Amino acid sequence: MYDTTDPRSKLTGKPAAAATAAGAGFADADLGLFCETAPQIEAPGTRTWITRGQNFLVAHSETQPGAVLERSAQPDEYALILFSPDTPAIITAGGERAEVPGHSLVFIPPGDSRVGLPVGGKVQRVFSCVQNDLSALASNAASFVTRRPQIPAWQPWPAPKDGWRIRSYSLDVAPQPGRFGRIFRCSTLMINIIDPQVGPRDITRLSPHHHDDFEQGSLALEGSFVHHMRWPWTVNMNDWREDRHPLCHAPSLTVIPAPAIHTSRGVGQGVNQLIDIFAPPREDFSNQPGWVLNADDYPMPT
């Protein structure tokens, strides 16, 4: 259910997936409260927290000047979020070297890669869960020992039409009426940098909705959010769950499972900044003209 002024009100639904039937079992939400808990990785100049979903994971790193984040034999594309304008990066991958300014989103190709952070700062890397080394380190790895039946088997989208390379995109994109956030996609992920909200969200214009067959990662980078979640009642009371309304301060990741009804409410007095993550990319968002800002770089499945 969306307010009529919400661009998502134009989306058309589809029949519920069979896996949401009674007896399939519904998963709880997972919370990654970065910096409120011990990091999963500590290295010289770097502390990294990892929280995962079924198909994706987020590695949040707080780094000192000169820190380096490396991946060896990475099997697929991943994303690097340089949200602060004061956090540039020097990236090498696939025989390329790119100097990327802060306030950018970067898609990094498969294989070996190196992210240098000359002035340090807070950065996030978003991966698919194809790579088991990071998935096994996640703070909530135990939640995904059993695969969640609502979500189809992992299938990436097609490779970019002009081949693998480092692709960076400025986040300095003005809001546009009728467009929802600032959406970018690659072959593995869709990242939506929601337009910032200043002050608490209007409680008369929330957006409770659900996804039948994919999960959502809500990554808070500034402010605080209450994530309101409610699970369907089925004929099998074993499926029922209590409503949840966790208060999550930035930086944090909330993994919202299918088919929970959910809406997120910024409650901080200053800037509340949320980034939504989907893996693989969403077809309904991709089918909206002008919504995916780099759509020309990545073909949709045929």
Digitized pLDDT (tens) for each residue of the chain, 302 residues in all: 666 677 877 676 554 444 444 446 899 999 999 989 999 999 999 999 999 999 999 999 999 999 999 999 999 999 999 999 999 999 999 999 999 999 999 999 999 999 999 999 999 999 999 878 999 999 999 999 999 999 999 999 999 989 999 999 999 999 999 999 999 999 999 999 999 999 999 999 999 999 999 999 999 999 999 999 999 999 999 889 999 999 999 999 999 999 999 999 999 999 999 999 999 999 999 999 999 999 999 999 98
Query: Is 154 contained in some domain?
Result: yes
Query: Is 276 contained in some domain?
Result: yes
What domain range includes position 80? 7-294
Q: What CATH number corresponds to the domain at position 212?
A: 2.60.120.10
Query: Is 143 contained in some domain?
Result: yes
**DSSP states of the chain as a string?**
---TTSGGGG----PPPGGGSTTS--PPPEEE-TTTS--SEEETTEEEEEEE-SSEEEEEEEE-TTEEEEEEEE-S-EEEEE-STT--EEEEETTEEEEE-SSEEEEE-SEEEEEEETT-EEEEEEEETT-HHHHHHSTTGGGGSS--TTSPPP-PPPPPTT----EEEES-----TT--SEEEE-SS-EEEEPPPEESSPPTTS---B--SS--EEEEEEESEEEEEEEPPP-SSGGG----B--EEESSEEEEEPTT-EEEEEE--SSEEEEEEEESS--HHHHTSTTTBTTGGGSPPP-
Residue 7 has a pLDDT of 82
Query: Is 300 contained in some domain?
Result: no
Query: Is 1 contained in some domain?
Result: no
Query: Is 146 contained in some domain?
Result: yes
Number of domains in the chain: 1
Give the global pTM: 0.93
Query: Is 2 contained in some domain?
Result: no
Query: Is 301 contained in some domain?
Result: no
Residue 14 has a pLDDT of 53
